[in-house]
Amino acid sequence: MLLTISTNHEPATDLGYLLHKHPDRHQTFDLSFGRAHVFYPEADTDRCSACLLLDVDPVGLVRGKGNWKDGLLDQYVNDRPYVASSLMSVAISQVFGSALAGRSRERAELVETPIPLTARIDVLPVRGGEDLLHRVFDPLGYSVSATQHPLDEKFEDWGESPYYSVELEQATTVAQLLQHLYVLIPVFDQRKHYYVGPDEVEKLLAKGESWLADHPERGLITRRYLKKRQSLVRQALARLVEEDVSNADEDQEVDDLAAPEEKQRELSLHEQRLGAVLAAIRASGAKRVVDLGCGEGKLLRELLADHQFTEILGMDVSVRSLEIAHRRLKLDRLPDMQRQRITLMHGALTYRDERLANFDAAAVVEVIEHLDPPRLIAFERVVFEHARPRTVVLTTPNREYNVMWESLPAGKVRHSDHRFEWTREEFQSWANRIAERFNYIVRFLPVGPEEAEVGAPSQMGMFEAE
């Protein structure tokens, strides 16, 4: 099976720097299931093509598997050596690992610049026909052409095979193209996967981070990628959705449940929360502030109004929320001086991100309860270890207070997307643990009207780096 990536970006031979493979050399890599060859059939300044050829050893593929269910012969005589399948994804990640991660020492800028690229796959088994190719690749901006191969050229009436030569074309980055191929090639091939385990979810999310959540076929892609393993599929979809929850319906949901006078209280609660966060950030003396999980930009608006803050960054995983924030803050109409103070950025708090470094203060308002507990661990390191602002102001609901909302059924969380809601003790013990581990000092403040027994509806932790 053969994957050919071509460009006519000038100089086209830059493709060699982007793939970390020299155009003049033929290189061979040993993989657990065979060998991969990389070579360039053409390498001129106006056009350059790199090929990844897999030489699959069908014996190596089954060695040690001890799985005789499919019959002995079937294990050795099959289409695996000839088609692009999950083996191709494995090869992409092992042979083009740096390119897949978007790294290039020599061409750092080009890594992020879309260039005209074509990927040709010979051949892709498409269970689902040409229509499926379009449903999957069109929304990602590719122009797709596909040629279906007959089962056997000598026997016309045997009809068509499920095998296609596929060509995808788009101006994009090499990293993005490889990420799409990495996730999507196995989606077309419904045969046995090279490997489907729990960490497959991580791989899917890592490679699909920026585009899968918004893809209209994300359900199909996830199901097929994970081979319909229900538990994995549910987990992956939940995480994708979690990351695209707009806070548009955040307070709405409690509002719907609440009686009118409670509605009033809930509305002002969010204002009180923002007021408390803003006061804490002001008091820290911060100039450069990042709002992590900024949603539709309510806090950003307050930050923008205060000239103490010279640089403001809003970050969220939901593109939809960012678009709403952009509109509400009227960023297009701000005078230049104001406009330069604020940036909105798409990103996930569960992945280390260098753009978050060097801020004086970070706000994390009503965000952590949207993270699955295992992802919370990633979040902790991303924020407190890598981004490491001097001040972190973080709020989360206080579960004890939920009894005060009569219309909230007992034991229910305030919002269907909340993965957890903590009591004051749970929050404080988590925050103390974080502070100790990452060398911060933390103080706590209730937010909203305090009741003797159950405390206030929201709770805030203020972390200062030691």
From residue 385 to residue 424, what is the string marking binding to ligand SAH with x (rule CB under 6 A)? Answer: ----------------------------------------
Residue type, 435: A
Q: State the nearest-atom distance from the C-beta of 406 to ligand SAH, in Å.
A: 24
| Chain residue whose CB lies nearest ligand SAH | 295
* Residue pair 422/432 in contact by the 8 Å Cβ criterion: no
459 binds ligand SAH (CB under 6 A): no
Binds ligand SAH (CB under 6 A): choice among 350, 398, 458, 459: 350
For ligand SAH, give the closer residue by CB, 94 or 210.
210
Cα gap 356→383, rounded to integer Å: 8
- In the region spanning residues 273 to 332, those forming contacts with ligand SAH, defined by CB under 6 A, are 293-295, 298, 316-318, 321
For ligand SAH, give the closer residue by CB, 122 or 417.
417
**# chain residues binding ligand SAH, by CB under 6 A:** 21
Query: Which listed range, 76-84, 215-223, 361-369, 430-438, lies at the site for ligand SAH (CB under 6 A)?
Result: 361-369
Using CA atoms, how far residue 152 sits from 69, 75, 97, 158, in Å, is 28, 22, 36, 7
HSE on the CB side for 409, CA within 13 Å? 4
For ligand SAH, give the closer residue by CB, 247 or 391.
247
Q: State the nearest-atom distance from the C-beta of 350 to ligand SAH, in Å.
A: 5
Give the list of residues 6+ apart from residue 83 with CB closer than 8 angstroms, or none.
1, 123, 124, 125, 163, 189
For ligand SAH, give the closer residue by CB, 328 or 433.
328
* Residue pair 379/434 in contact by the 8 Å Cβ criterion: no
Residue type, 383: V
Binds ligand SAH (CB under 6 A): choice among 180, 207, 370, 418: 370
Binds ligand SAH (CB under 6 A): choice among 205, 349, 435, 462: 349
For ligand SAH, give the closer residue by CB, 7 or 318.
318
16 binds ligand SAH (CB under 6 A): no
Cα gap 22→112, rounded to integer Å: 20
For ligand SAH, give the closer residue by CB, 125 or 295.
295
Q: State the nearest-atom distance from the C-beta of 284 to ligand SAH, in Å.
A: 18
Cα gap 98→94, rounded to integer Å: 9
Q: State the nearest-atom distance from the C-beta of 329 to ligand SAH, in Å.
A: 13
Which residues, listed in sequence order, are joined to residue 234 by a DSSP beta bridge?
Answer: none
Binds ligand SAH (CB under 6 A): choice among 168, 324, 348, 387: 348
458 binds ligand SAH (CB under 6 A): no
For ligand SAH, give the closer residue by CB, 321 or 459.
321
Cα gap 116→7, rounded to integer Å: 6
* Residue pair 398/454 in contact by the 8 Å Cβ criterion: yes
* Residue pair 294/316 in contact by the 8 Å Cβ criterion: yes
Q: State the nearest-atom distance from the C-beta of 326 to ligand SAH, in Å.
A: 14
Sheet containing 2-7: which strands, arranged edge to edge?
27-31, 34-43, 48-56, 2-7, 115-125, 160-172, 143-150
12 binds ligand SAH (CB under 6 A): no
Which residues, listed in sequence order, are joined to residue 166 by a DSSP beta bridge?
Answer: 121, 146
Residue type, 220: L
Query: Which listed range, 252-260, 346-354, 435-443, 457-465, lies at the site for ligand SAH (CB under 6 A)?
Result: 346-354
**Paired tokens of 100:** 């897949």
* Residue pair 294/314 in contact by the 8 Å Cβ criterion: yes
Residue type, 34: G
Binds ligand SAH (CB under 6 A): choice among 167, 200, 243, 380: 243
Cα gap 243→318, rounded to integer Å: 6
Site for ligand SAH, rule CB under 6 A: 242-243, 245, 247, 250, 293-295, 298, 316-318, 321, 348-350, 365-367, 370-371
